[in-house]
Structure 1
Amino acid sequence: MRKYMLAALCCIMSLFILTGCKSSVPENTVFSVDDLSGKKIGVQLGTTGDTLVSDYEEDGSGTVVERYNKGNDAILALKQGKIDAVVIDVQPAQSFVKTNSELMILNEEFVTEDYAMCISKNKPELKASINEALNVIKANGTLDKIIDNYIGENAGKTPYISPDGVKRNGTLVMATNAYFKPYEYYDNGKIVGIDADMAQAVADYLGMNLKIEDMEFDSIITAVQSGKADFGAAGMTVTAERLKNIDFSDTYTTSKQVVIVRDNDAIKNSGNVVEKFKNDFLTDNRYQFVLTGLKNTVLIAFCAALMGIVIGFVVAVIRSTHDKTGTLKIGNFICNLYLTIIRGTPTMVQLLIIYYVIFGSVSINKILVAILAFGINSGAYVAEIFRSGIMSIDNGQFEAASSLGLSYKKTFIYVILPQAFKNVLPALANEFIVLLKETSISGYIGLTDLTRGGDIIRSITYDAMLPLLVVALVYLVMVVILSALVKKLERRLRSNER
């Protein structure tokens, strides 16, 4: 165990040393919108900027559009010189530039747009209620105060406070992507911003509670369509393409798309590793995001592994029994169908189908959804691991046990399975390690796992290096410890054979 921990520590030290290494970043060559042609442009996937910049890809100029799940990922790529510019909404752009002195916004705006809340086409009554509430908070100045609290000279001076005495009945669920400051972002572990306060004001007017679900931007419309959320608010622009699938409320504010580039004259001051670590993890107790994500990751992986072992064992027994005796034909057909579907489709697609389709109209705990998705997926691979272990046992042992008067069932339980388990133990451990790392896609249904915890910190601090390295380190330590425990178990099992 000490040997493995020492190896992990060496990796840790190497990673932290690398954080201090600087690489050369190319100078900025984009000084106006006209210069974007032929460049590498970063956008957030599914946004208005993505739609508009896509036209550049078709003009034959060699323009490359790099699409990122989060705006801050595009900003990090820009800082590192992987792309030449980022097209994004002006208010988030100002927040990015404020905390990244080596970046600047071009004076020339890209396009003007209006924001609205997306609502399912099947809920016209909800749309009417939200529009009524919007009109009221616009007329009485509440919406202006909310916006002024986050933008301009009076920022922080007019916080929205829910009125006393509101009788609440029911809950409004808002889908958002909390990486879009000042519209929605994390502050002290809570999602705040213009959209969050506006949604709270609407909920107060309607006499309802508000629940905010954080998810990937391109999942918001899907969540609203499937009923997982009542509406979406994430600095979303009304477009003809979106209107084919979703409805929108009245607009509540106007914004514009701008271009962010590197500032050739800016003085870069990245700070040392200690300062970055304090800012990333100790300020506002941001390490709590990692701890919460770690807890969910371990819980999901452990429960899914148990579920996978049970499913895999049953499937393996049915298939191996059919192979050896020719019985259980229907069961074998069902098992083969299960293996073909699960092993032939990506885990992320299965997770999204279970959450948005199978449980589309059902309110269900996201951790339970993740356990089901990963457990069912793991079961298909565990089944083949168990079956290979069972089939590796020589048929002579079945014949010998039968000559001693043992039934097929007793032979299977007392003779075959103990040997098969020892044979497949390394493969089972490897499957659990893969499962542990696969849980990193849980963020696609808005669940805070270990990886998403690091993403939240990155969205707050705009530092890619340390949050990613710490997340990688935690995974590494868990895998090293697990591998050491499995090897210890293997030695103990081998010692029993002597």
Structure 2
Amino acid sequence: MKKKSLYLVVLSLIAVLSFFIPVETVSAADTALEDIQEKGTLVIGTSADFPPYEFHSTVNGKDTIVGMDISIAKKIAEDLGVELKIEDIGFDSLLPALESEKVDIVISGMSPTDERKQSVDFSEVYYTGGQNIVVREADKEIYTSTADLTGLKVGVQTGSLQETLAQEQMPDSEILSLTKTTDLLLALKTNKVEAVLMEKPSAEAYVGNDNQILTFDGGFQLEEGEQGSAIAFKKDTQSLVAAVNSSLTEISEQDLVSDYLEEAGTHLQEAQGGTEEDSTDSNSILNYWNYFLKGTGYTILISVVSVFFGSILGVILSFMRMSKNKIVHFLATAYVEFVRGTPMMIQVMFIYFAVGYLVNIPALVSGIIAVSLNSAAYICEIIRSGLNSVPKGQSEAARSLGMSKKIAMRQIIFPQALKNIWPALGNEFITVIKESSIVSIIGVSDLIFQTRVVTSVSYRGIAPLVVTMIIYFILTFSLTKLLNHYEGKMNHD
């Protein structure tokens, strides 16, 4: 009997883990360029928190991603005869998005290092800037070189060249890696780090719009492959690489980069508030209400849909776990334990990137699926515990009156269990609202994503966080009151 149970456990685990086994693919002919021209769009991946390369700005009253890299991408798309589509993703998720074919190319001020060349191909270098250190204005006399930062905490962007340089050339400093540049600068202003390593043009762009910080050359030693920025491609797409290199050559010959940088500078000035006379009024956090409204809408959408499908799947899983069929029971148990034993962030990234090898699922749909599957595991346990809390005598009494199992469950058992599980179920619904923010890592424009956009556009770190906290509180408090209302009605029944 024990051996049979062990076999069932192993079989269940194999069924779950089979989804994670990589599928070997046969190399096909290079049709990358033809595929893009046939679908009529060029999808680029970028991390739009890196002025003047790419950043958010309000253009004609609409949130728009602009910058030098975006102008280059527009030129490439124009030369290919296709439309440009931009996917704003965290910098450390750009290469996974490229490999899983969520994007066609990555253009985000990325340096063509030897480590990255092992997994992706690169174009010719289109711009060479430099590596700077950003510090607080008040510390300008204290920190003037990397040597002054020995033993201190330094901020870098996750997966960036600056992270590698800090690890190799500043071994005695404590490194703090964050996904967004805006988060790094907020950490600097709030004394969480003493300095931030950044690409020179980006550092100068932020310093030019913020009198609380300053920048200087870090004096880093770079190898030839680490100099400059290039465009990343999926391996074995040389036809696309050649076409992009042709556009980059034309850009270089006509010195269009200077024009693109000048245009980016104009957007930066507009983002800051234009002239000194109107900068105070235009930079009020209330002027960014449309960003928060959009983010709140997406957060509510993700939460409602995820709770709906998560509840349905949770009910099914709870009955599977209570089933006398050992295979069904162990399949449900393996699912619940696996989901509860892995971080939601990994689940979101797996659905979006790994499953993307088989099915191209949009970021929003991927986020909803991941949150639904995660919530289902917890709802399953809540419902199962509630059903088990109903005395067995209730079921036996219902059967003695001639009720079938289904009728007894629907009319007798479940209504009593619902009263017991309602508070825990309500807590799970509230948790979904807050934890759904994790979908921002794959570029879904939820409230957290839009908060970062406002931080980037307004160059203000604390105020957007305060507004976001208030919005989340309003959402969760309103839901709590609604759930308490129905809980009170149940108690009176």
Range class of TM-score, shorter chain: 0.5 to 0.7
Give the corresponding residue for 2:144. Answer: 31
Shift in alpha-carbon separation, 1:87–1:108, aligned structure 2, 3 A: closer
Contact 2:137 2:212 in 1 (8 A): no
Q: Following the alignment from structure 1 to structure 2, what is the Cα–Cα distance between the partners of residues 461 and 373?
A: 32
Contact 1:76 1:462 in 2 (8 A): no
Give the corresponding residue for 2:398. Answer: 401
Give the corresponding residue for 1:412. Answer: 409
Give the corresponding residue for 1:256. Answer: none
What whole-Å deviation, never above 9, does each CA across 1:46-79 have from its counterpart, x for those lacking one?
A: 1111110112564xx4x21111211222222222
Matches within 5 A, 1:4-19: none
- The amino acid of 1:318's aligned partner reads M
Give the corresponding residue for 2:161. Answer: 48
1:88 equivalent in alignment to 2:85: no
Residue 117 of structure 1 aligns to a residue whose secondary structure is strand
1:491 equivalent in alignment to 2:493: no
Matches within 5 A, 1:265-276: none
Contact 2:387 2:413 in 1 (8 A): yes
Give the corresponding residue for 1:264. Answer: none
Shift in alpha-carbon separation, 1:315–1:30, aligned structure 2, 3 A: same
Match of 1:139 among 253, 266, 282: 253
Shift in alpha-carbon separation, 1:140–1:362, aligned structure 2, 3 A: farther
Give the corresponding residue for 1:254. Answer: none
Q: Following the alignment from structure 1 to structure 2, what is the Cα–Cα distance between the partners of residues 287 and 277?
A: 14
Residue 385 of structure 1 aligns to a residue whose secondary structure is helix
1:104 equivalent in alignment to 2:214: yes
Contact 2:285 2:463 in 1 (8 A): no
Number of equivalences: 347
Percent of aligned positions with the same letter in both sequences?
Answer: 31
Q: Following the alignment from structure 1 to structure 2, what is the Cα–Cα distance between the partners of residues 277 and 32?
A: 37
Contact 1:280 1:457 in 2 (8 A): no
Contact 1:366 1:445 in 2 (8 A): yes
Shift in alpha-carbon separation, 1:144–1:127, aligned structure 2, 3 A: same
Match of 2:325 among 298, 308, 328: 328
Give the corresponding residue for 1:77. Answer: 187
Contact 2:455 2:461 in 1 (8 A): yes
Question: Is the deviation greater in 95-104 or in 469-478?
Answer: 95-104
Q: Following the alignment from structure 2 to structure 1, what is the Cα–Cα distance between the partners of residues 138 and 263?
A: 37
1:297 equivalent in alignment to 2:299: yes
Give the corresponding residue for 1:337. Answer: 334
Q: Following the alignment from structure 1 to structure 2, what is the Cα–Cα distance between the partners of residues 403 and 340?
A: 36
Give the corresponding residue for 2:76. Answer: none
Residue 41 of structure 1 aligns to a residue whose secondary structure is strand
Give the corresponding residue for 1:469. Answer: 466
Shift in alpha-carbon separation, 1:108–1:390, aligned structure 2, 3 A: closer
- The amino acid of 1:131's aligned partner reads N
Give the corresponding residue for 2:30. Answer: none
1:288 equivalent in alignment to 2:402: no
Any gaps of 5 or more consecutive residues in structure 1? 1-23, 157-180, 189-274
Contact 2:375 2:432 in 1 (8 A): yes
Shift of 1:36: 2.5
Contact 2:156 2:162 in 1 (8 A): yes
Give the corresponding residue for 1:240. Answer: none
Matches within 5 A, 1:198-209: none
- The amino acid of 2:160's aligned partner reads T
What whole-Å deviation, never above 9, does each CA across 1:426-472 have from its counterpart, x for those lacking one?
A: 11110011111011111111111011111110112221111001111
Residue 87 of structure 1 aligns to a residue whose secondary structure is strand
Residue 106 of structure 1 aligns to a residue whose secondary structure is strand
Question: Is the deviation greater in 407-416 or in 134-143?
Answer: 134-143
Match of 1:313 among 309, 312, 315: 315
Contact 1:40 1:65 in 2 (8 A): yes
Residue 374 of structure 1 aligns to a residue whose secondary structure is helix
Question: Is the deviation greater in 470-479 or in 32-41?
Answer: 32-41
Shift of 1:277: 8.6
Q: Following the alignment from structure 2 to structure 1, what is the Cα–Cα distance between the partners of residues 271 and 478?
A: 34
1:428 equivalent in alignment to 2:425: yes
Q: Following the alignment from structure 1 to structure 2, what is the Cα–Cα distance between the partners of residues 337 and 360?
A: 24
Residue 379 of structure 1 aligns to a residue whose secondary structure is helix
CA-based RMSD? 2.4
Shift of 1:111: 5.1
What whole-Å deviation, never above 9, does each CA across 1:135-157 have from its counterpart, x for those lacking one?
A: 12222343443234336xxx67x
Contact 2:169 2:220 in 1 (8 A): no
Contact 1:138 1:144 in 2 (8 A): no
Structure 1 length-normalised TM: 0.66
Matches within 5 A, 1:115-126: 115-126=229-240
Residue 357 of structure 2 aligns to a residue whose secondary structure is coil
Any gaps of 5 or more consecutive residues in structure 2? 1-135, 273-278
Residue 283 of structure 2 aligns to a residue whose secondary structure is helix
Shift of 1:45: 1.3
